[in-house]
Amino acid sequence: MTEDHWIVGKSLAQDSAHLHVTGEARYIDDIPVVQGTLYAALGLSEHAHAYLRHIDLSEVSRAEGVFAVVTAADIPSENHLGGALKDEPILAVEKVEYIGQPIFAVAASSVEAARRAVRLAKIDYEILPHNLDIRRAVAAEQFVLPTKRLQRGHAQQAIQEAPHQLSGQFSLGGQEHFYLEGQIAFALPKEDGDFHIHSSTQHPHHVQEIIASMLGRELKDIEIECRRMGGGFGGKESQASLFACIATLLAYKTQRAVKYRVDRDDDILISGKRHCYDIRWQVGFDEHGSILGVVLDYASRCGISADLSGPVNDRTMFHADNAYYLDQVDIISYRCKTNSQSNTAFRGFGGPQGMMAIEYIVEEIARYLKKDALSVRRINFYGQDERNLTPYGMRVEDNIIPELTDTLVQSSSYLERRQLIEAFNQTNPYLKKGIALTPVKFGISFTATHLNQAGALIHIYNDGTVQLNHGGTEMGQGLLTKVAQVVAETLQINPSHIRCTASTTEKVPNASATAASSGSDINGMAAQQAAEVLRARLIEFLAKHFEVSPEQIQFKTGQVFISDKKTLSFAEVAHLAWFNRVSLSATGFYKTPKIHYDPKTMSGRPFFYFAYGAAVAEVLVDVLTGEYKVTQVDILHDVGDSLNPALDIGQIEGGFVQGMGWLTTEELWWNQAGKLMTHAPSTYKIPSIGDLPRKFNVRLVDKKPNREATIYRSKAVGEPPLMLAMSVFFALKHAIESIADYQISSQLNAPATPESILTAIQTLRSFQSTTAA
């Protein structure tokens, strides 16, 4: 801590924690419905690619309890989702492009009636060939967005001239968000054709825009509100809008309130996920493992439309370096169109896939040189004063990864354990241990510069209590609590006197999505500014009123000191100010400084700063079946000066476990017809309580304030820890490779399910026997 704070930096419980544990926290499905409320369901495509020859909804309309049935033809104005591109319809027109694509919607008197009714549709499809394969899409040039390339130097030449070369390919699966609260919206008609919509969304402003364009109305006519989400993780950034549109369209049609709580299976079938990737790579390096040139070819499955695939894939390219200086580098990124859900934001936003490639390469180099991968990592880390320019031309000024790694190596006894593990593996042919240390360097800011802005609105009531509002949304990360701590600190009031109110487009206009880990950075700053305006206003008033100089007035630990003669409570000050006609409401605004970025050349300073971390994971693998346990995890993570250590540790642990799920048990599986078959928790397996590593040591980097002037010198923490889970994947790979005494590398693809692991083991063994013969 650079200075002592009263509230900031304390591990306060989340503002809603007491409501969570009693079940009183109100989610959208818990809001009492109004009289006459109807319930929605969607009719979905049953084919991956087909023309809609004829849609017969007569039985649907006649079904018990049905009040309205709508198709694309019922949309009064624009039938499109998405941002700039407008390339995805709300409801399909003429053609469907994936199994699960919405075709029509129903409003009925109950959830069950609506869900029963949509099953009665008779749709005549003319089936077309479909494709889900990434490389086939590349070959056929089926893209949702143009291919991008980021080059520095002459990578191909550097590889050829390097003492050693390696190349390879591997695949990374996608990931379903599996927010515990499914997608939901509740639309209420207001007067004059306006609508008030409760939407479980990370981006109320986006929902507002899409609904206004759908209805042919203006932004002023549409209010979007969200008090809290039951999890978001990126899945409710752009994609909440579809469900809000359906509820609103049906409300428009019926002039009744309509709630759309999406069935879990439908939710997973309809909505986009983390992009899966096919990655090809070539690398040239010297005998120490120093990377001399690297070529990376990232191809991702984007689904049927662009959605957020542009910035997601850009971030992949920006994180192809992770923590390593790549001097000669050539990165190409293909954004493939496939007959699947339109993939979208997911915690890490393409960064994890970018990093996995370079970490894979580092491991391959280490295996080839018969070195500990840690030494290869260290030799390639960014330097302090030199070797510090990223491929996109941003200087890494805040690099702490070498010392952070050293500290973690010590505290986790990495070297000793690695020796013990390799010795153990000599003695047991059926159970193998593995260990890996992986670093994370993650860029903080939206890469689209204009999104790095935030607004806040603070009211002080004349009893001294405060309502706090800003453009950020609460999805469990504790944003409202952190921002309340900032305001409490600024006004020196007890946080219990602050009410965090629901995010609504009526209070803060044009707010950016709560995404890119930036929530507390930008909203905290905006709220601080608003609070400072109010404090300054109060000081000016008090100085005049009590005839003292402004410097003699101090707000401190819940009280206001007027020189040394008088002490008032904050409530008394508020009341006095009100009585003397002082405005007690203020807005605040913040825009992130220093950043600039040219999307054409992919260069500039897209990030205000970097967040760092590293993890050591140890695993135990059953090589007969491919099953495994993660036995120990040690994490050291950088949050600058923490606004709230308990909440930050929660983000780190939760992010890590979620990342572990992505790389291990969470497998998306499509059948031959192109249907996603893992569309429920019975088939899609996120980590459960037994997957928690038995030894799980999580620490924050000590005494490292952010060198940039962020809110109280803290750092963003939402996304970076997810990528710490790469350590689990490479520990599994390490365990597998013990079978061949670490002489050859294994082809392990993610997710590393027991099957994926056993396949890698088999391939390794057959390779071993052919080389032996």
Partner 1 sequence: MSFHTRNTIYFYLHGKRIALRDVSPSLTVLNYLRDELHRTGTKEGCAEGDCGACTVVVADLNQQGCIQYRAINACIHFVPLLDGKILFTVESLKTNHGLHPIQQAMLDCHASQCGFCTPGFVMSLFGLYKTADKPTHEQLCHALSGNLCRCTGYRPIIDAGQRMYDYAQALAPEQQSALTHPYSAQETPSAWLSQLHELAAHTESLVIHHQQQAFLAPRSISELSHYLLAYPNAYLLAGGTDIGLWVTKRQQHLNTIIYLGQVAELDQISQTDEYLEIAAAVNLERAYQALVQHFPELQDLHWRFASLPIRNAGTLVGNIANGSPIGDSMPALIVLGARVLLRRGNTQRELALEDFYLAYQQKDLQPSEFVQAVRIPLRTSTQILRVWKISKRFEQDISAVCAAFCMEYQEGKIHTIRIAFGGMAATPKRATHTEQALLQQNWSLATLEKAQAALAQDFKPLSDMRASADYRLHVAQQLLHKFYLQTSGSSFVSELGDLHD
- Which of the stretches 138-146, 157-165, 223-231, 455-463 binds partner 1 when contact is defined by CB under 8 A? 223-231
Say which residues have a Cβ less than 8 Å from residue 524's Cβ, sequence separation at least 6.
482, 483, 486, 643, 711, 712, 714
How far apart are CB 292 and partner 1 at their closest, in Å? 39
First-to-last CA distance in the chain? 63
How far apart are CB 537 and partner 1 at their closest, in Å? 35
Residue 265 binds partner 1, judged by CB under 8 A? yes
Residue 49 binds partner 1, judged by CB under 8 A? no
Which member of 572, 754, 767, 768 binds partner 1 (CB under 8 A)?
754
CA 20 to chain centre: 22
Residue 478 binds partner 1, judged by CB under 8 A? yes
Strand partners, 153: none
How far apart are CB 235 and partner 1 at their closest, in Å? 10
Which member of 84, 191, 430, 581 binds partner 1 (CB under 8 A)?
430
Residues 625-664 that bind partner 1 (CB under 8 A): 625-629, 631, 646-647, 649-650, 653-658
Would you tell me how many other CB atoms lie within 10 Å of the CB of residue 107? Answer: 29
Which of these is catalytic: 88, 97, 209, 719?
719
How far apart are CB 665 and partner 1 at their closest, in Å? 5
How far apart are CB 653 and partner 1 at their closest, in Å? 4
Residue 64 binds partner 1, judged by CB under 8 A? no
Cβ contact 609:695 at 8 Å: no
Helices (H) and strands (E) in the chain, counts: 19, 29
How far apart are CB 664 and partner 1 at their closest, in Å? 8
Residue 72 binds partner 1, judged by CB under 8 A? no
| Cα angle: 281, vertex 666, 111; to 5 degrees | 135
Cβ contact 309:282 at 8 Å: no
* Rounded Cα distance, 496 and 501, in Å: 13
Which member of 153, 231, 599, 604 binds partner 1 (CB under 8 A)?
231
How far apart are CB 634 and partner 1 at their closest, in Å? 13
Which residue, 391 or 720, has its beta carbon nearer to partner 1? 720
Residues 682-701 that bind partner 1 (CB under 8 A): 682-683, 685-692, 694, 696
Cβ contact 556:565 at 8 Å: no
Sheet holding 503-504: strands in order across?
66-70, 102-108, 38-44, 258-261, 184-189, 195-199, 222-226, 503-504
Alpha-carbon distance values, 665 to 129, 273, 587, 661, 687 (Å)? 31, 16, 46, 5, 7
Residue 19 binds partner 1, judged by CB under 8 A? yes
Cβ contact 322:348 at 8 Å: no
Which member of 2, 23, 94, 426 binds partner 1 (CB under 8 A)?
23
Which residue, 379 or 500, has its beta carbon nearer to partner 1? 500
Which residue, 23 or 129, has its beta carbon nearer to partner 1? 23
Q: Which of 47, 58, 420, 109 is nearest to 254 (CA)?
A: 109
Residue 446 binds partner 1, judged by CB under 8 A? no
* Rounded Cα distance, 398 and 642, in Å: 17
Residue 580 three-state SS: coil
Which member of 286, 297, 327, 622 binds partner 1 (CB under 8 A)?
622
**Torsion (CA) 655, 659, 665, 671 in degrees, nearest 10:** 120
- Which of the stretches 17-25, 161-169, 403-411, 508-516 binds partner 1 when contact is defined by CB under 8 A? 17-25
* Rounded Cα distance, 371 and 734, in Å: 12
Tokens of 449: 């510069």
- Which of the stretches 231-239, 329-337, 373-381, 546-554 binds partner 1 when contact is defined by CB under 8 A? 231-239
Which member of 171, 388, 603, 759 binds partner 1 (CB under 8 A)?
759
Residue 340 binds partner 1, judged by CB under 8 A? no
Which residue, 73 or 673, has its beta carbon nearer to partner 1? 673
- Which of the stretches 28-36, 124-132, 188-196, 373-381 binds partner 1 when contact is defined by CB under 8 A? 28-36
Residue 149 binds partner 1, judged by CB under 8 A? no
Cβ contact 718:655 at 8 Å: yes
Residue 263 binds partner 1, judged by CB under 8 A? yes
How far apart are CB 293 and partner 1 at their closest, in Å? 37
Residue 614 three-state SS: strand
Question: Alpha helix locations (H) across 271-394?
Answer: 309-318, 351-369, 373-380
* Rounded Cα distance, 738 and 724, in Å: 23
Residue 24 binds partner 1, judged by CB under 8 A? yes
Tokens of 40: 């929605």
- Does the annotation count 547 as an active-site position? no
Which residue, 239 or 490, has its beta carbon nearer to partner 1? 239
Which residue, 118 or 150, has its beta carbon nearer to partner 1? 118
Question: Alpha helix locations (H) across 328-444?
Answer: 351-369, 373-380, 401-411, 414-427
Which residue, 594 or 694, has its beta carbon nearer to partner 1? 694
* Rounded Cα distance, 677 and 269, in Å: 9
Binding flags for partner 1, 103-122, as an x/- string (CB under 8 A): ---------x--xx--x---
Residue 667 binds partner 1, judged by CB under 8 A? yes
Which member of 5, 25, 603, 749 binds partner 1 (CB under 8 A)?
25
**Torsion (CA) 266, 270, 271, 277 in degrees, nearest 10:** 120
Residue 423 binds partner 1, judged by CB under 8 A? no
How far apart are CB 191 and partner 1 at their closest, in Å? 28
How far apart are CB 654 and partner 1 at their closest, in Å? 4
Residue 673 binds partner 1, judged by CB under 8 A? no
Residue 624 binds partner 1, judged by CB under 8 A? yes
Which residue, 612 or 662, has its beta carbon nearer to partner 1? 662
How far apart are CB 660 and partner 1 at their closest, in Å? 9
Which residue, 425 or 528, has its beta carbon nearer to partner 1? 425
Residues 164-183 that bind partner 1 (CB under 8 A): 177-182
Residue 558 binds partner 1, judged by CB under 8 A? no
In the DSSP assignment, the letter for residue 32 is P
How far apart are CB 44 and partner 1 at their closest, in Å? 14
Alpha-carbon distance values, 415 to 316, 374, 613, 616 (Å)? 31, 10, 19, 11
* Rounded Cα distance, 498 and 488, in Å: 8
Which member of 1, 140, 673, 677 binds partner 1 (CB under 8 A)?
677
- Which of the stretches 244-252, 335-343, 476-484, 525-533 binds partner 1 when contact is defined by CB under 8 A? 476-484
**Residue appearing with tokens 């054709």:** 193
Tokens of 164: 């050693």
Say which residues have a Cβ less than 8 Å from residue 609's Cβ, sequence separation at least 6.
398, 444, 706, 707, 708, 710, 715
Cβ contact 71:103 at 8 Å: yes
Which member of 496, 743, 755, 766 binds partner 1 (CB under 8 A)?
755
* Rounded Cα distance, 649 and 697, in Å: 10
Residue 723 binds partner 1, judged by CB under 8 A? no
Binding flags for partner 1, 563-602, as an x/- string (CB under 8 A): ----------------------------------------
* Rounded Cα distance, 752 and 558, in Å: 53
Catalogue the active-site residues. 719
